[in-house]
Homo-oligomer: A and B are copies of this chain.
Amino acid sequence: MLMQPGFPDDTPVPAERRRAWQAFFEAHAAVVPALEAEMEAEHGLTLRWYDVLLHLAAAPGTKLPMHELSDAVVITKGGLTKLVDRMAGAGLVARAAVPGNRRVTLVKLTPHGLETYRRARLTHHRGVAQHFLDHLSDHERAVLEAALVRVRDAARPRRPDVSPAS
């Protein structure tokens, strides 16, 4: 989707350059659903749920305030409220209050959530290797990482918060 398989084009030279974008876009469209399907089949998790478990597992005390978690997994606050509802219903996470502050709600990994994450991580790592890394030479991998980090940093939405100085 979103790419010309080789259609007539008003701008013949740029078209050749754009094949790199096409490969990039289509590789993503091919690999991510594969990872998603494996995660679903082996653990009954969407990639989104896995992502939540990942960030909580990595957080100090395996817990995070709602607004930080929504930032980490790139979802709106409203969306996260409902997502946490569902995951709590599944016993993977639980809400907790923070003592001194009654505004924030913490989301904490349950033991079951942590164990689920540990098992799901194997599936994810295997999938990434199998569907992506194993098809790249060491040189390609190095080039790709360097180039795409540059692309990512250039395009990344800037935090509209404090100015970089000060």
Contact = CB atoms under 8 A, between A and B. Distances in A.
Interface in A71-87: 72-74
Contact of A140 (B1, B34, B147): B147
Contact of A30 (B2, B4, B23, B152): B152
A51 to B, nearest CB: 5
Interface residues of A, number: 60
Interface string A24-54: 1111111101100000000000010011001
A119 B79 CA distance: 34
Copies in the complex: 2
Contacts of A14: 125, 129
Given A18-B128, A74-B29, A129-B14, A58 B24 contact: no
Given A133-B17, A136-B147, A150-B135, A27 B125 contact: no
Interface of A: 1-2, 4-5, 7-8, 11, 14, 17-21, 23-31, 33-34, 47, 50-51, 54, 57-58, 72-74, 125, 128-129, 131-133, 135-137, 139-152, 154-157
